[in-house]
Amino acid sequence: MNQGKLVFAQIMEHLPLSTFRRCVARYDGEHKVKRFSCLDQYLCMAFAQLTWRESLRDIEACLRAHSTKLYHLGIRGNVARNTLANANAVRDWRIYCDFAQRLIGIARQLYAEEPLGIELNDTVYALDSTTIDLCLSVFSWAPFRSTKAAVKLHTLLDLRGSIPSFIFISDGKFHDVNVLDHLVPEPGAFYVMDRAYIDFERLARLSEAGSFFVTRAKSNFRAHRRYSHAVDRATGLVCDQTVVLTGFYSRKGFEAPLRRIKFNDPETGKRLIFLTNNFALPALTITQLYRLRWRVELFFKWIKQHLRIKAFFGTTENAVKTQIWIAVSVYVLVAIVKKRLNCSASLYEMLQILSLTMFERTQINQLLSQRPQASGERMSPNQLSLFE
């Protein structure tokens, strides 16, 4: 008697499998593969992300304990630790990169109307990176310091819905500013970044493409003031100026005027100096835009806390990148499910519930709507939360 689909299968129903097959065919991912397909590999790794498995042996033991249900999970091949390890090491990580990018495109359309927190209709991105420390003797392909290795996760986060629109994985020595060479500027969009990304030649390319940037000035910033605009000092603004760069190399890289805004932060008492090439928005809105940059930091902390990207199931570059891209796709997939089902639960609550109910047959929308909570119970202030 059919009692309904397993919760894991209900989640995977939201995957565009035709797109996945095209990604596999593009990189010939199943060349000489007879039993354990790329889809089997993806489903096993996605299961590991959703249920927080510790190792390949842990994945094998858990799935084999439910061997009679594997077919209903969508897994057709035999789950073995060596087979999964070999698949992660050999099958091209770009399959899962391209597939994750397709899921990102779907999610961004769903979250396009999400409120930004300020009155602005344009797209706003926050650009930053996070470092994942590794052991140098094991991950020799990712040098960082003399005694340790690391990979960097460079992320361009769409602040409407906290969806990563661009991700670049590099070794630890790759400087943050170099990722600007890999970005395709979007005309009319705002790019919010910290001082690590100040390279006026690269920022000029953003400006020439019709994009806007908001960043903070370094301590050695040198410029000549051309004009000062009136500001309301009661809001914390100190000045709003049009300036031109005076340094030899900086002026050579960026000849156009810039806007310099000084602001006294009432919370910290610090004086902050912002630089932007946008002269239309109010000065206070520029400061609020930079304040939104903290969301990319929250994104990094969240995925490190709730997804499996700090410890890896393989040691090769291909295995590490495969695991990271599948983790990103799982994050985006859960965000898609949340939006399509109009679920009121936070992303954290969804993952906690799903991790314990993968083999149940309850309808997902019913499962996520049953969240009894005592009237006096509150979430810990230390718990990171997205999509509230």
Q: Mean pLDDT for each 10-residue chunk of the chain (388 residues)?
A: 78 94 93 88 94 91 90 87 93 96 94 87 94 92 91 94 92 94 94 94 94 93 92 91 91 92 88 94 93 92 89 93 95 93 86 89 83 50 55
Contact (Cβ atoms closer than 8 angstroms) between residue 59 and residue 84: yes
In a domain, residue 342? The reply is yes
Q: Of 147, 166, 148, 146, nearest to 156 (Cα)?
A: 166
Domain boundary among 246, 270, 292: 292
Domain boundary among 274, 292, 310: 292
DSSP state of 189: -
Q: What is the pLDDT of residue 46?
A: 95
In a domain, residue 259? The reply is yes
**Residue 388, Cβ density class (10 Å: 0-12 exposed, 13-18 middle, ≥19 buried):** exposed
214 and 283 in one domain?
A: yes
In a domain, residue 308? The reply is no
The distance in angstroms from the start CA to the end CA of the chain is: 38
Rounded distance between C-alpha atoms, residue 127 and residue 326, angstroms: 21
Q: What is the pLDDT of residue 290?
A: 93
**Angle (CA) 32 34 37, round 5°:** 95
Q: What is the pLDDT of residue 291?
A: 92
Structural domains counted in the chain: 2
Q: What is the pLDDT of residue 119?
A: 84
In a domain, residue 346? The reply is yes
Beta-strand relationship, 149-158 and 258-264: unpaired
275 and 215 in one domain?
A: yes
72 and 12 in one domain?
A: yes
Catalogue the E-assigned strands of the chain: 124-134, 149-158, 163-171, 190-193, 212-216, 223-229, 237-245, 258-264, 271-276
In a domain, residue 159? The reply is no
Cross-strand pairs, 154:
129, 168
Q: Which two tokens stand for residue 193?
A: 């970044």
In a domain, residue 55? The reply is yes
DSSP state of 310: S
Q: Of 119, 230, 111, nearest to 164 (Cα)?
A: 111
Contact (Cβ atoms closer than 8 angstroms) between residue 293 and residue 128: yes
Phi-psi region of 146 (alpha: psi -120 to 50; beta: other; left: phi over 0): alpha
255: containing domain:
195-292
Q: What is the pLDDT of residue 382?
A: 57
3-state SS assignment for residue 251: helix
The torsion defined by the Cα of 82, 87, 89 and 92, in degrees rounded to 10, comes to 180
282 and 213 in one domain?
A: yes
Domain boundary among 292, 310, 331: 292
Residue 193: C-alpha distances to residues 67, 146, 215, 239, 387 (Å): 48, 28, 5, 21, 22
Contact (Cβ atoms closer than 8 angstroms) between residue 202 and residue 249: no
In a domain, residue 299? The reply is no
Q: Which two tokens stand for residue 382?
A: 């230390």
In a domain, residue 158? The reply is no
Q: What is the pLDDT of residue 1?
A: 36
Q: Of 212, 211, 219, 223, nearest to 251 (Cα)?
A: 223
Q: What is the pLDDT of residue 383?
A: 56
